[in-house]
Structure 1
Amino acid sequence: MQKEQYPIEGMMCASCAVAVEKVLQQAKGVKEASVNYANGKATITFDASITSAKVLKHQVEEAGYGLVITPVNQEILQQREEEHYKALQRTFWGSVCCSLPVFLISMFHLHFPYSDWFQALLATIGLVFFGKKFFKGAYNQLKHRSANMDTLVALSISVAYLYSLSSLVFRSFWERYGIAPHLYFESAVMIVSFILLGRMLEESAKGRTSQAIRKLMGLKPTIVYVRKNENWEEVPIENVQKGEILLVKSGQKIPVDGIVTEGETYVDESMITGEPLPVRKVIGNALFAGTTNGQGAIQMRAEKVGEHTLLSSIIKAVEDAQGTKPPVQKLVDKIAGIFVPIVIMIAIISFFLWMLLDKENGFSHGLQAFVSVLVIACPCALGLATPTAIMVGIGKGAENGILIKDAQSIELASKINAIILDKTGTITQGSPTVVQDFWENKDRDLPILYTMEQHSSHPLAQAIVAHWKETSPIILTQVKEISGAGVEALVEGKYYRVGNLSWLEEYGVFLSDDFREKINHYQSQGSLVGLADEQRILALIFMADKVKDTSALAIEKLQKQGIEVYMLTGDQLPVASHIAKEVGITHLKSQVKPQEKQDFVKELQAQGKVVAMVGDGINDSQALAQADVSIAMGKGSDIAMEVAQLTLISSDLLKIPKTVNLSVQTLRTIRQNLFWAFIYNLIGIPMAAGVLYFLTGKLLDPMYAGAAMAFSSVSVVTNSLLLKRKKI
């Protein structure tokens, strides 16, 4: 099975997207297909042994659209979009040059010799040269027995133009049947101008919904300095190979993922993690492509290049997510699929009702209502309501270090009422650190402890070495590591041991009352490492997996949002209870196995709760897969991030209440968009059909119907863009 994303060409409205989606879903070998009108792309999952991109391209082309299967990078796609937008601008201004004089002559009754023929000439030029894309689109739809927005526009302007032309050429024919001929040339050409204006504004606004992707892509430098034969050479970034040494100067972008090999600096990682403060980087620290080097030149070794960098994976994930649809979109797609035929039917019924009910002006009023209904009905607003909000929401999440894999998780995140947090690496930092240390004589004994722990591979020993890394080592003899216990060695003819207390006590070492009191106090909160000589314990080191600085605040915020917070851990109850108390969690389960985590998620779901699971390890993957919303910490295991629907790149728990707020705001925007799109059509279509006539004695001018239609699409996209300004 292959999952690919391809640009679609020729889509004009939501019903186009539905039509292309239907063609792809019915194609042999396609498991899943989704078409996003807002970003103009299709996401297709297909069996490569049954079908191919070429076959799918042919099937889409037969339906009157285009499928771009040749690899095109984002820069070229953006260039094409800009060219398309400029062409649209030229078409619009050309249409205005034709429609404005016709509008002025008609509205201000500027009659002069052959003024009517002058209107006809300009209208003909306007429709033939600047409105031809609507006729072409409608013809392609007709060939495949379907209809879209082009069908409505082409039908309405054709009727208005042909009736006006026949009224001008065959005036006596209409008068013979008691019909006062009218000219609607201004309606025909002004409709084209207004719709082109709407599409131009829509394209501009739609472009801004993808700004998050463009910002991320703009983080990639194009040229990098690579060490070749002891010299620095400028090399295009696509030519950088894994293992090469690169030079990154002050203020430059980090080109690829790698490790600092020389120098020291501070790096701004805000565009990837959402964290505002620069991060100190020294030799051995990881660097990520797209982040900005501060005030110091550094050298780095390339570890991940091209599409394997964190930045590239984020861009890919955001693009994929923006192409997905939330459950609410399914209803909208069904409506969009039948919308155009229903509108044509309403327009025809309106025409005949006017013919039957109005004996004097039934034909002209019916014709005006027919044209207005076709023009004012706009499936574009419906089609843009959900995807534009989703695109902005997912982009905003990426800018804040929240990587959202699909639109469904955005919808579900707002409904979370129970959240399960793993302890290690989620609430805590995930690695032991020295919290407290107690000595008989630190100056004398610290070098002994430090040097002995250098000979151990145990995580606690490594944490001690990292904590006192500035210490100078001493000479040891007869060093021996005892698995699961500690290290023993000879220092100046005297035996020393460092390790767990139960092992040390086996040698009958003396323990002072002060140290005994410390053990009773700290033993339930973490791990204790002791240093002893042959007679007594000389030092106690209290080690613990420290709680992250933001964990308690994040949990408080979640509880204020009405979410019950649970902590599950495989750790012992005393340690787990201490952590839970520190961060304000009352619901706690300790010594939990991976399967039991999954069972607990099921238990909460059986109570009717919408459950979110947050974890970072392989042991969390079962529970993550079971949860309604799964959230992985960005510094966790690959399998956790693969299973999870959301990833917090910086592993900061404060991102979770932000995610909930982002979900709420995005869904609110979708509901607002759908409300206005539906209300617009519910009010606009009856008005266009002639309901206003019974109140005001006037029918809606088709020209104003065109302006209203253009405004509806633009208003929906603009409302989605407002989401970018909201704080989460």
Structure 2
Amino acid sequence: MKHTYRVTGMSCDGCRTKVEQALNKVKGISAVVTLEPPEATATMEKHIPTEKLQEALSATGNYTIEMSGHHHADEHNHQRTKSHDAHPNAPHHHGTIAEPLPKDSGGKYYCPMHCEGDKTYDKPGNCPVCGMDLIKQPSLRKSAKYTCPMHPEIIRDKPGACPICGMDLIPISADVEEEDKTYKQLLRKFKIATVFTVPIFIISMSEMIPSNPLFKLMDLRYWNWVQFAFSIPVVFYSTWMFFERAWRSVITWNLNMFTLIGIGAGVAWLFSILALLFPGIFPDQFKTHSGTVYVYFEAATVILTLVLLGQLLEARAHGKTNSAIKELLKLAPNTATKIVGEKETSVSIDDIQKGDLLRVKPGEKVPVDGSIKVGEVTIDESMISGEPIPVDKKPGDKISSGTINGNKTFTMLAEKVGSETLLSQIIEMVNSASRSKAPIQKLADKISSYFVPVVVLISTVTFIIWAVYGPEPSYVYGFVNAIAVLIIACPCALGLATPMSVMVGVGKGAKSGILIKNAESLEKMNAIDVVIIDKTGTVTEGKPSVEKVISTDAGLTENDILQRIISLNGSSEHPLAQATLRYGEEKKIDVQPVSNFEAITGKGVIGVLGKENLALGNEKLMEQVKAKINPDLEKQVKAEQKQGKTVSYLAIGKSAIGFVVISDKIKESSKEAIQKLQKEGLQVIMFTGDNEDTAKAVSETLNLDGYKAQMLPEDKLKEIKHLQAEGKKVAMAGDGINDAPALSQADIGIAMGTGTDVAIESSAITLVKGDLNGIAKARLLSHKVMGNIKGNLFFALGYNVLGIPIAAGILYPFFGVLLSPMIAALAMSFSSVSVILNSLRLRSAKLD
């Protein structure tokens, strides 16, 4: 069983780790703790009292734990409710129906290493844990601004004419002003650092030139003072932030790359100050042939400037990792054409209200979610679904914001605006998933927690060994190599290995119509053994149509039977019910009021029409209401079911007096997708509430590995638990309310984007197009992301394993090779950049 608990008292990722470790020490429990929201999800064989969990946490720190408002899996499925305000295709967060996002949710900043989980900050700055620059989360809403193409200094909040030249103002994105702000700031500091560091470097290197021309101008001791003067802007302006971060890391004991940089460059710079002011306190080993003490202003400033260069390159690369979100943001237009009476006016996207009538012209983007009112058009939905083939739309069909109109004008009704649109929900889901942690990151976190103290220890040992056993001047050798060890070590590369791959991978998935709720599901998808699929709406198109209605009662015509069927179904939202209602409209048969209506999950519906007790559904419903099915009627139904069609009996009182035949075409892509999954060694099994004959016909057509028919929601749930008990990793794909329990229980729940809110809310992955090919794509994406993460971790760890011994001087006794601290700084900076660039390769990964 699984329970979700609310945990209070956590303020950072360190707290989260302590709480998680404490809970996992309790016998019989496996817990996963998140910071945002502050919750613990615990899996246990039998119920463990909350008091016992509280005891474990109290021994660790000032934390409290209490049962959360919702339970997991089978315990909370009965409490689920359907949100009528949410978009039917919109992704939701696990455990709650997605709510509209606040208007200012875009003005947030987060740490690229996700040190504090999903925590965000209102202002730019650097992470209080690792010290890295915070990254701006792309805005979910775009406030339209307008400018003149001839006079860009003119900026207005509304469309109109330029007051200077009279040209129409054109929209610009408000995000342009924010874009690359961190990069530009770092670039300015880097330029200043370079201007002052280059002269220091030239002065220091000039000592190697025979008959040094600089020494003809003045002695070395005075040039040392010049180096000191030039180093002040570098240390106290351009790179002072590194020392601030190093100090904060020490007092909070969140040791990171800036701890090592601060110690290494800081010691070199302070040593040089002492050498200038008090040269007499140093032994002769530290002095040059001219009597001055060796100074390291050049080493300190070059190291700091190169680290700054690394930060600059990282800032540029970070902008590319969330490019998928930025591209999604660009899909939404800034303005729309609103119809008011007989007039058309251009309005900001933020001013559109539900119920507004909008006109979309050829080539324009659909501004908000809604339905077509007038016109038959072709819509390019590739930016949402990942499928390149345009889709034909007619009046009444749903359309989504960001999709592109073809070559005809149409009128639409606005139904979902702002943060309620599918596009906004996708962006929010991608944002959230990009900031989540994959289980594999626990390895990197554990290594990182020991990394800095071990490096400081190795640096100290390096100095001692060189001072005792090294050649003269041994102290100088020891000092330089100790600094090189501190500088070359890069925990940053280790910390970035997982989040960068996850961010790019989640963005890649979104562009391909695969919405991933969190990094854990992305990782788990790679380990799946069995894929369970539903039939209606998953294997089939989910657009059932009535083929015929049969009456076996001589006193009732087919239209009489049909009227009773559509009257019962008038209160149902099931796809099969909607199919009968459409058929009734075509036959021009009126829906009659029904009392005591009740939908019986997995069986059908019952109600009272006039004085008749009606029941419409499968054999199980007939058994429940004790309705007799005569042999001739049963024979006719079996014949239809063997052809893969769905049949519902209609009973009046205790007798079944007719049936309706409904067919739902198998998706053209289903067979191809199932073959792809089977080629990868996965078992594909169908669970359906339909009868045995229909299920068998569909299974044989698709060549499935197995099927189970006439399954109620609890049957699907039990079967998945049974497979998991056998050690199988199960993915479940479904689209209906009755799939929600199974989707929650499965290791990976996959919802068809064309399905219900509850199915989507219960799943870890949503396929926007509702196509089984998306499962094959999701698995391939998972495989590529996990491979990329492992490559990053190998690169980061391998780099440090090789780099630290070389910096310590292990090659000197054999080859006479030493690593300059400046080269170490350059290598350290590029190690992080290399991890990011390797992650960016996922953007071009092929998922077909």
Q: Which TM-score applies when normalising by structure 2?
A: 0.70
298, 306, 312: which is aligned to 1:200? 312
Answer yes or no: is 1:100 the counterpart of 2:212. no
1:426 alignment partner in structure 2 = 538
SS of the aligned residue for 2:538 comes to helix
2: CA distance, partners of 1:299 / 1:27: 59
SS of the aligned residue for 1:691 comes to coil
Contact kept? 2:287, 2:294, Cα under 8 Å: no
Instruction: Quote how far apart the aligned CAs of 1:601 are.
Output: 0.8
2: CA distance, partners of 1:20 / 1:527: 51
2: CA distance, partners of 1:575 / 1:217: 44
Contact kept? 2:734, 2:752, Cα under 8 Å: yes
2:247 alignment partner in structure 1 = 139
Answer yes or no: is 1:300 the counterpart of 2:419. no
1:626 alignment partner in structure 2 = 745
91, 104, 107: which is aligned to 2:189? 91
Answer yes or no: is 1:615 the counterpart of 2:713. no
Letter aligned with residue 739 of structure 2 = D
SS of the aligned residue for 2:333 comes to coil
Letter aligned with residue 526 of structure 1 = K
Instruction: Quote how far apart the aligned CAs of 1:656 are.
Output: 0.5
**1:102-125 CA distances to partner (integer Å, 9 max, x unpaired)?**
333434535313444433332333
2:652 alignment partner in structure 1 = none
Matches within 5 A, 1:365-404: 365-404=477-516
641, 655, 662: which is aligned to 2:774? 655
2: CA distance, partners of 1:461 / 1:77: 46
Answer yes or no: is 1:600 the counterpart of 2:719. yes
1:546 alignment partner in structure 2 = 665
2:234 alignment partner in structure 1 = 126
2:83 alignment partner in structure 1 = none
Distance 1:126 1:461, change over 3 A: closer
**1:280-300 CA distances to partner (integer Å, 9 max, x unpaired)?**
111111111111111111111
392, 403, 406: which is aligned to 1:291? 403
Letter aligned with residue 794 of structure 2 = F
SS of the aligned residue for 1:614 comes to strand
Letter aligned with residue 602 of structure 1 = K
800, 804, 816: which is aligned to 1:685? 804
1:440 alignment partner in structure 2 = none
Contact kept? 2:368, 2:416, Cα under 8 Å: yes
1:443 alignment partner in structure 2 = none
379, 385, 392: which is aligned to 1:267? 379
SS of the aligned residue for 1:546 comes to coil
1:282 alignment partner in structure 2 = 394
**1:144-190 CA distances to partner (integer Å, 9 max, x unpaired)?**
45533222212211222233344455555535467554333322111
Answer yes or no: is 1:671 the counterpart of 2:779. no
1:559 alignment partner in structure 2 = 678
2: CA distance, partners of 1:81 / 1:20: 32
2: CA distance, partners of 1:529 / 1:167: 94
Matches within 5 A, 1:39-78: 43=117
SS of the aligned residue for 2:436 comes to coil
Letter aligned with residue 409 of structure 1 = S
Matches within 5 A, 1:471-490: none
Answer yes or no: is 1:210 the counterpart of 2:322. yes
Distance 1:39 1:306, change over 3 A: farther
243, 250, 260: which is aligned to 1:152? 260
Instruction: Quote how far apart the aligned CAs of 1:524 are.
Output: 4.0
Answer yes or no: is 1:410 the counterpart of 2:410. no
2: CA distance, partners of 1:331 / 1:39: 14
Instruction: Quote how far apart the aligned CAs of 1:586 are.
Output: 3.2
Contact kept? 1:453, 1:465, Cα under 8 Å: no
1:589 alignment partner in structure 2 = 708
Instruction: Quote how far apart the aligned CAs of 1:568 are.
Output: 1.0
Distance 1:79 1:673, change over 3 A: farther
Distance 1:182 1:245, change over 3 A: same
Contact kept? 1:418, 1:564, Cα under 8 Å: yes
2: CA distance, partners of 1:659 / 1:70: 25
Letter aligned with residue 834 of structure 2 = S
Letter aligned with residue 827 of structure 2 = A
1:727 alignment partner in structure 2 = 846
1: CA distance, partners of 2:313 / 2:135: 24
**1:383-413 CA distances to partner (integer Å, 9 max, x unpaired)?**
1100000001111111011110011111110
2: CA distance, partners of 1:349 / 1:375: 15
Identity rate of aligned residues, in percent? 39
2: CA distance, partners of 1:689 / 1:643: 53
**1:208-258 CA distances to partner (integer Å, 9 max, x unpaired)?**
111111111111112222222332222221121111111111111111111
2: CA distance, partners of 1:449 / 1:646: 43
Distance 1:179 1:450, change over 3 A: farther
2: CA distance, partners of 1:62 / 1:590: 53
SS of the aligned residue for 2:295 comes to coil
Q: Which TM-score applies when normalising by structure 1?
A: 0.81
More helix by share: 1
Name which of structure 1's ranges 686-695 and 119-128 shifts more when overlaid on structure 2.
Answer: 119-128
**1:427-456 CA distances to partner (integer Å, 9 max, x unpaired)?**
11223236799xxxxxxxxxx999997996
1:491 alignment partner in structure 2 = none
2:149 alignment partner in structure 1 = none
Count of matched residue pairs: 663
Distance 1:271 1:177, change over 3 A: closer
Letter aligned with residue 119 of structure 1 = Q
2:90 alignment partner in structure 1 = none
SS of the aligned residue for 1:570 comes to coil
1:254 alignment partner in structure 2 = 366
2: CA distance, partners of 1:207 / 1:339: 28
Name which of structure 1's ranges 218-227 and 100-109 shifts more when overlaid on structure 2.
Answer: 100-109
Instruction: Quote how far apart the aligned CAs of 1:637 are.
Output: 1.4
Name which of structure 1's ranges 243-252 and 158-167 shifts more when overlaid on structure 2.
Answer: 158-167
Matches within 5 A, 1:386-535: 386-433=498-545, 457=566, 463=579, 524-526=643-645
Distance 1:450 1:712, change over 3 A: farther
Instruction: Quote how far apart the aligned CAs of 1:192 are.
Output: 1.2
1: CA distance, partners of 2:131 / 2:825: 25
2: CA distance, partners of 1:87 / 1:274: 36
364, 372, 390: which is aligned to 2:476? 364
Q: CA RMSD of the aligned region, Å?
A: 4.4
1: CA distance, partners of 2:527 / 2:507: 21
2: CA distance, partners of 1:721 / 1:187: 32
Contact kept? 1:224, 1:234, Cα under 8 Å: yes
1: CA distance, partners of 2:832 / 2:687: 48
2: CA distance, partners of 1:707 / 1:90: 19
Instruction: Quote how far apart the aligned CAs of 1:592 are.
Output: 1.4
SS of the aligned residue for 1:218 comes to helix
1: CA distance, partners of 2:584 / 2:479: 88
Contact kept? 1:324, 1:406, Cα under 8 Å: yes
**1:26-81 CA distances to partner (integer Å, 9 max, x unpaired)?**
7867999xx974276855599xxxxxx99x99xx9799999999997676777445
1:38 alignment partner in structure 2 = 112
2: CA distance, partners of 1:393 / 1:320: 13
2: CA distance, partners of 1:68 / 1:201: 14
SS of the aligned residue for 2:710 comes to coil
Question: Structure 1: which 5+ runs fail to align?
Answer: 9-15, 47-52, 438-447, 486-498, 501-505, 531-539
